């Protein structure tokens, strides 16, 4: 090829790209490409806001790493008992400084978000204590942790009682009911930031801050724990900035930035975090043990990327809401609502719509794109569930993923995308699948 041939070839590729050529090759029709461009153009201001948040959070994370003098040695892992693992120990300091807490426990041995929450509760409650959830029904997997559904090893088996205060109709805290629910033996109040698989709105950090100070003013002795799953870096502040004793989450969601291969974190007061450390390993051993093997680098680098990855996921969520709402599908949050987490629910009203959506997300994945997701009877659910995930890390939901139970209102819950570009492609692919099935009216 001559230089001119090369230049022409490049121009040709660029033209095809800007005209949607590459999208077309990837199975998106010209009309859908055009719609996607329109929606993107209408979202410039909102996207700029997400970028601004990412900028602030990026500096927060870098500042925490610099303050703790992170160096190449921190990426060396440990084996066996894991004594003197500076990488592991200083990562916990970096988390504490990022979340503005006294301390943090960030471990590969915390297997997932449910485990982190279970640990936080089990480590800080004693027989005879009561915990109260003040944001209504907690996430499904916590039902067995608490013993709402009887389960082996639940808190209930250890004589820890549970009560629940519903959110008000509009999704806000019911302060009168919270006050009434606090008993002399109430030891811990739990708040869940994200809606999980419910259709209530997710709570903002401001709302959570108000609830924390309400509880603390009445009863400074009560520990407040916030389930922060999917909320990290969505805002420039976290619940831990407003007096939460423990802020808890999963590393295969936002704070792992897609690179953390496993793990969970608990950021909070020295007292609460120390209780978690001795509970995770053993009394007397606490945080001194726990080999990090080779994961330190991924946990650092993932945290470093987390602010921008989260911003990309937020763009994807808002893009989807704006695209699908245009064609009459109910979106939660809706197209214009403020975001408090990265989850987007879309109600399809029929099984076929939900299935097509998941097929599209799957077909756009970098991994396992050739498989077709099928509904199946998952343990713990009362109807079949369909899931789409083509992830580098098993079950990672900071990567583009979608799922939903096959019953009314046939809602897909989707989240993630390690890059906005992938999220956009996945959503267009899903939209295309619905178009092809005749489920998009007026296109």
Ligand X SMILES: *Cc1c(COP(=O)(O)O)cnc(C)c1O
Residue of 196, 268, 316, 333 that binds ligand X (CB under 6 A) = 196
Question: Least distance from C-beta 221 to ligand X, angstroms?
Answer: 25
Residue closer to ligand X by CB (options 114, 362) is 114
Strand partners, 385: 376, 405
What x-and-dash track marks residues 94-133 binding ligand X by CB under 6 A? ------------------xxx-------------------
Question: Least distance from C-beta 327 to ligand X, angstroms?
Answer: 27
In sequence order, the 6+-apart residues with CB closer than 8 A to the CB of 244 are 191, 208, 212, 224, 225, 226, 268
Report residue 276 as tokens: 């978690």
The closest alpha carbon to 431, from 32, 18, 42, belongs to: 32
Residue closer to ligand X by CB (options 186, 340) is 340
Q: Could you say whether residue 247 binds ligand X (CB under 6 A)?
A: no
Q: Could you say whether residue 401 binds ligand X (CB under 6 A)?
A: no
Q: Could you say whether residue 230 binds ligand X (CB under 6 A)?
A: yes
Q: Could you say whether residue 164 binds ligand X (CB under 6 A)?
A: no
Q: Could you say whether residue 403 binds ligand X (CB under 6 A)?
A: no
Report residue 203 as tokens: 């709570």
Residue of 101, 192, 204, 308 that binds ligand X (CB under 6 A) = 192
**Piece of the chain touching ligand X by CB under 6 A; list 13-21, 28-36, 223-231, 401-409:** 223-231
For residues 347, 388, 171, 314, the Cα torsion angle rounded to the nearest 10 degrees is -100
Question: Least distance from C-beta 239 to ligand X, angstroms?
Answer: 13
Can you spell out the DSSP letters for 4-45?
HHHHHHHHHHHHHHHTTHHHHHTT--HHHHHHHHHHHHHTHH
From its phi and psi, is residue 367 left (phi > 0), alpha (psi between -120 and 50) or beta? beta
Q: What is the CA radius of gyration of the chain?
A: 23
Residue pair 249/228 in contact by the 8 Å Cβ criterion: yes
Q: Could you say whether residue 231 binds ligand X (CB under 6 A)?
A: no
Question: Least distance from C-beta 86 to ligand X, angstroms?
Answer: 27
From its phi and psi, is residue 69 left (phi > 0), alpha (psi between -120 and 50) or beta? left
Residue of 53, 57, 135, 194 that binds ligand X (CB under 6 A) = 194
Helix axes 44-67, 30-42, angle to 10 degrees: 70
Q: Could you say whether residue 265 binds ligand X (CB under 6 A)?
A: no
What x-and-dash track marks residues 359-398 binding ligand X by CB under 6 A? ----------------------------------------
Helix, strand, coil % (nearest 5) of the chain? 45, 15, 40
Question: Least distance from C-beta 22 to ligand X, angstroms?
Answer: 34
SS3 state of residue 87: helix
Question: Least distance from C-beta 6 to ligand X, angstroms?
Answer: 48
- Please tell me the distance from the alpha carbon of residue 204 to that of residue 408, in angstroms, as a whole number: 27
Question: Least distance from C-beta 228 to ligand X, angstroms?
Answer: 8
Q: Could you say whether residue 144 binds ligand X (CB under 6 A)?
A: no
Residue pair 27/61 in contact by the 8 Å Cβ criterion: no
Question: Least distance from C-beta 273 to ligand X, angstroms?
Answer: 19
For residues 395, 398, 401, 407, the Cα torsion angle rounded to the nearest 10 degrees is 80
From its phi and psi, is residue 154 left (phi > 0), alpha (psi between -120 and 50) or beta? beta
Q: Could you say whether residue 70 binds ligand X (CB under 6 A)?
A: no
Q: Could you say whether residue 229 binds ligand X (CB under 6 A)?
A: yes
Residue closer to ligand X by CB (options 33, 229) is 229
Residue pair 118/108 in contact by the 8 Å Cβ criterion: no
Residue pair 214/175 in contact by the 8 Å Cβ criterion: yes
Report residue 157 as tokens: 């088996």
Q: Could you say whether residue 233 binds ligand X (CB under 6 A)?
A: no
Q: Could you say whether residue 204 binds ligand X (CB under 6 A)?
A: no
Residue of 250, 298, 344, 362 that binds ligand X (CB under 6 A) = 250
Residue closer to ligand X by CB (options 87, 196) is 196
SS3 state of residue 411: strand
Residue closer to ligand X by CB (options 139, 329) is 139
Question: Least distance from C-beta 333 to ligand X, angstroms?
Answer: 15
Question: Least distance from C-beta 143 to ligand X, angstroms?
Answer: 11
Q: Could you say whether residue 141 binds ligand X (CB under 6 A)?
A: yes
Size of the site for ligand X (CB under 6 A): 12
Task: Return residues touching ligand X (CB under 6 A).
Answer: 112-114, 139, 141, 192, 194, 196, 227, 229-230, 250
């Amino acid at each position: 090829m001559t230089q001119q041939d090369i230049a022409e070839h490049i121009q040709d590729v660029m033209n095809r790209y800007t005209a949607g050529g590459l999208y077309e090759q990837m199975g998106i029709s010209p009309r859908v490409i055009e719609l996607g461009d329109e929606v993107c153009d209408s979202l410039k201001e909102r996207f700029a806001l997400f970028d601004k948040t990412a900028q602030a959070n990026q500096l927060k994370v870098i500042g925490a790493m610099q303050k703790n003098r992170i160096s190449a040695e921190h990426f060396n892992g440990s084996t066996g008992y894991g004594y003197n693992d500076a990488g592991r120990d200083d990562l916990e300091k970096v988390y504490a400084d990022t979340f503005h807490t006294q301390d943090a426990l960030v471990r590969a041995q915390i297997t997932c978000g449910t485990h982190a929450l279970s640990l936080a509760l089990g480590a800080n409650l004693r027989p005879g204590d009561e915990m109260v959830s003040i944001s209504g029904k907690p996430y499904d997997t916590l039902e067995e942790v608490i013993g709402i559904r009887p389960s082996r090893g639940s808190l209930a088996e250890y004589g820890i009682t549970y009560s629940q205060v519903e959110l008000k109709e509009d999704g806000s805290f019911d302060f009168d009911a919270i006050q009434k629910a606090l008993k002399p033996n109430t030891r811990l109040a739990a708040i869940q930031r994200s809606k999980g698989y419910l259709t209530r709105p997710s709570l903002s950090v401001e709302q959570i801050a108000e609830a924390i100070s309400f509880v603390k003013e009445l009863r400074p002795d009560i520990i407040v724990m916030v389930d922060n799953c999917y909320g990290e870096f969505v805002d420039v502040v976290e619940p831990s900035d407003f007096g939460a004793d423990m802020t808890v989450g999963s590393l295969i969601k936002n704070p792992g930035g897609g690179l953390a291969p496993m793990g969970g974190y608990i950021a909070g007061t020295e007292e609460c975090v120390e209780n978690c450390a001795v509970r995770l390993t053993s009394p007397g051993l606490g945080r001194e043990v726990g080999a990090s093997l080779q994961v330190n680098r991924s946990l650092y680098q993932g945290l470093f990327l987390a602010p921008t990855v989260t911003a990309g996921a937020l763009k994807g969520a808002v893009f989807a809401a704006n695209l699908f709402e245009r064609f009459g599908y109910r979106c939660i949050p809706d197209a214009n609502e403020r975001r408090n987490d990265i989850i987007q629910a879309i109600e399809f009203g029929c099984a076929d719509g939900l299935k097509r959506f998941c097929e599209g997300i799957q077909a756009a994945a970098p991994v396992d794109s050739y498989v077709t997701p099928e509904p199946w009877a998952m343990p713990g659910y009362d109807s079949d569930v369909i899931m789409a995930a083509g992830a580098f890390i098993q079950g990672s939901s900071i990567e583009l993923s979608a799922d939903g139970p096959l019953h009314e209102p046939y809602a897909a819950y989707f989240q993630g995308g390690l890059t906005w570009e992938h999220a956009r492609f996945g959503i267009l692919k899903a939209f295309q699948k619905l178009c092809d099935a005749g489920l998009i009216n007026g296109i």
